Amino acid sequence: MSKTRTTLTIDEKLLTAVKVTATRSGKGDSQVIEEALRRDLGLDLLNHIWERATFTEAEAARVALEAQEATRHAQS
């Protein structure tokens, strides 16, 4: 996975908490922040769901289209 450097402006107490967590866990500050963002954004859950998905791309598209059509008919 590629990484991009960025600059953040965050509360000093929050940064201190990140640094303490990183030190206690043996991780870097960036890793602690990235893991927290992934958790909060639900990305780990999405990856888990995708890993367990059994539909092909065509099947998933068909089911999505059927759901969209059913919603349109229900709104009519």
Supply the pLDDT for residue 5.
Answer: 93
Tell me: the pLDDT tens digits for 25-62?
A: 999 999 999 999 988 888 877 677 777 878 888 988 89
For residue 47, what are its two tokens?
């990856």
Please determine, for residue 67, whether its predicted confidence score (pLDDT) is greater than 80: yes
More confident residue, 74 or 50: 74
Supply the pLDDT for residue 21.
Answer: 97
What pTM does this model have? 0.58
Please determine, for residue 76, whether its predicted confidence score (pLDDT) is greater than 80: no
Rounded Cα gap, residues 29 and 18, in angstroms:
6
For residue 16, what are its two tokens?
């201190």
Spatial CA neighbour of 34 closest among 48, 44, 20, 47: 44
State the DSSP code for 26.
T
